[in-house]
Amino acid sequence: MEKTDNGIKLTSTEGSAWIDLAFSIDNDLPQAIDEHGMTKTDKVSSEKDANLADFLFTMTKTENGIVLQGIEGTAWTDLSFSLTENRKQTIDQFGMTKLN
């Protein structure tokens, strides 16, 4: 996850159908993300693929950073952290981590 000049960029190394997602995000408006990309929490894909992880989380940008809410497929339910512009943070199903 990286905060850019224009919003947020997510890069997936495994478990999703997408490699890169980049989008603008307004403060305090959550964006839902699943293994297929950007979605809405009321429009969860019923399409299941054995080659993909089954997950759903929301991302909300706040004045202080980023808030993630794990809805499905994560060991975490809430993660909050600061993310300064052009800096990166790695997240997996267990929480914040470092990229190997």
Q: Tokens representing 77?
A: 């339910």
**pLDDT tens digit sequence for 2-60:** 988 788 999 999 999 999 999 998 888 899 999 999 998 777 667 778 889 999 999 99
Contact 7, 24 (CB under 8 A): yes
pTM of the model: 0.87
For residue 68, give the amino acid letter: L
Q: Tokens representing 86?
A: 């052009």
Domain ranges of the chain: 2-40+52-97
**pLDDT tens digit sequence for 76-92:** 999 999 988 778 899 99
CA 29 to chain centre: 14
The closest alpha carbon to 88, from 5, 9, 7, belongs to 9
**CA–CA dist 66, 3 (Å, integer):** 9
